[in-house]
Structure 1
Amino acid sequence: MVCDRCMMAVRSTLEAHALHIEALQLGEADIRENLSRDELKPVTRSLEQLGFELIDDRKSRLIEQVKNAIRKLVHQQEDTRTVNISDYIAAELHHDYNTLSTLFSQVEGVTIEKYFIRQKVERVKELLVYDEASISTIAFKTGYSSIAHLSRQFKDVTGMTPTAFKSQHMPRKPLDKV
């Protein structure tokens, strides 16, 4: 789940299966019931029809928690320049960063830092599409030290400059596909 609508869809699905939700947040839903694999199958099918997957192993949950922490940082916090990503992730998840970083790289095939950069670029794309701020303002809002730094990372990820992207109105990726 990467947005409020996703959480509403998951809540609705779980309630339709008469499950009692203890907690619901981005990427995670805790239910009161302790269901067997067979009892989970109809819930899993319903969630998959909506484009969600049920993650029930520890490693996958940790990876999803890392992704959610990064999405939260990039998309909900202004000016991330002072944030040390390794300290932030370790504090958010209460785990050793080196362990999380190794696991993330093994499973996702990309480092946490590169994933963070991809999320920042998606945020920049969003702000460019809105066309409400200059590139220098966008650079500041997204935690870049300069327009040149933003442009360099943007081009590394997308193959084009922010200005070229803005003029071509390229489609954005869903956040869970970044």
Structure 2
Amino acid sequence: MQLNPIHIALLSPIAKEKLYIKYMVSLRCKLMVQEELKKLEIKHLVVELGAVELLEDISTEQRVLLKQNLLKSGLELLDNKKSILVEKIKTCIVEMIHFSEDQPKVNYSEYLSAKLGYDYTYLSNLFSEVKGITIQQFIIIHKIEKAKELILYQEMNTSEISYKLHYSSVAHFSNQFKKITGLTPSFYKKLKEKRQGNLEDV
């Protein structure tokens, strides 16, 4: 007997609760969270960047212990609704810039608003209030970090990087890169290559 999509959906596990975790931005962080959940025997459906979907409600004691254990690893279990929303904004940006093959064609304000279901002005004001920097500044910082990665590990030139990260021109990308790092993209690459060469000579 072949199950139709409705039957499959009914048989699939359903998340009972969702936890939001601050500073959880890498695969290593996800593995650390999975290990802590296992230690506390907390059954979960999925662990993703910034969030965990649980298969059952957890006790107050489990929540307190999880929060304490995560803090030891530099992670923070969030309770405040504003902090949770800010973390969702950060996670969307990190996933979009660092883990998506293609950047969205729409502008970031439209993307975040559609993804999170809030007016962008509200998201922008909240983010600035909680983080002390604007969403745009946060995006620029991560775009430059991604650019560094592309320069060093994927051997992409400035033209290819500016196109991939949706800069209006190579000049715009180069100026922003220099403003954040103090170096031009080409000088940054030469500097890193020189340091790598020195290490190999040791």
Kindly report which structure 2 residues correspond to 1:64-79, keeping only aligned pairs within 5 A, or say none. Answer: 64-79=87-102
Q: Of the candidates 55, 69, 90, which is equivalent to residue 46 of structure 1?
A: 69
1:82 aligns with 2:105: yes
Alignment of 1:85-164 (within 5 A): 85-164=108-187
- Whether 1:35 aligns to 2:27 is no
Q: Does 1:19 align with 2:42?
A: yes
Q: Please list every run of 5 or more consecutive structure 2 residues that lacks an aligned counterpart in the other structure.
A: 1-23, 194-202
Gaps of 5+ in 1: 171-178
Is the alpha carbon distance of 1:81 and 1:92 closer, same or farther for their aligned partners in structure 2, counting shifts above 3 Å? closer
Kindly provide the amino acid, as one letter, of the partner of residue 113 in structure 2: A
Partners of 1:35 and 1:128 in 2: how far apart?
A: 47
Give the length in aligned residue pairs.
Answer: 170
Q: Does 2:85 align with 1:62? A: yes
If asked which structure has higher relative contact order (CA below 8 Å, sep 6+), I would say: 1
- TM-score scaled by length of structure 1: 0.86
Instruction: Give the secondary structure class of the aligned counterpart of 1:133.
Output: coil
Work out whether residues 14 and 43 of structure 1, in 8 Å CA contact, stay in contact via their aligned partners in 2: yes
Q: 8 Å contact 2:158–2:174 — kept in the other structure?
A: no
Q: Normalising to structure 2: TM-score of the pair?
A: 0.77
Larger Rg: 2
Distance change in 2, residues 1:10/1:39 (3 Å) = closer
Instruction: Tell me the CA shift for residue 118 of structure 1.
Output: 0.9
The aligned residue for residue 174 of structure 1 is none
Residues 67-116 of structure 1, C-alpha deviation per residue, up to 9 Å, x if partnerless?
A: 01011111133453732111100111111111111000111111111111
Aligned residues of 1:155 and 1:161 also touching (Cα < 8 A) = yes
Which stretch has the larger CA shift, 17-26 or 112-121?
A: 17-26
**Cα distance in structure 2, aligned partners of 1:13 and 1:39:** 11
In structure 1, what residue type is equivalent to 2:127? F
Q: Counterparts of 1:39 and 1:4 in 2: how far apart (Å)?
A: 23
Could you say what secondary structure the match of 2:46 adopts? strand
Contact 1:7/1:25 (8 A) holds in 2: yes
Residue 169 (structure 1) aligned with residue 192 (structure 2): yes
1:175 counterpart residue number: none
Higher mean C-alpha deviation, range 119-128 or range 39-48: 39-48
Percent of matched pairs sharing the same residue? 38
Q: Are the counterparts in 1 of residues 150 and 156 from structure 2 also a CA contact under 8 Å? A: yes
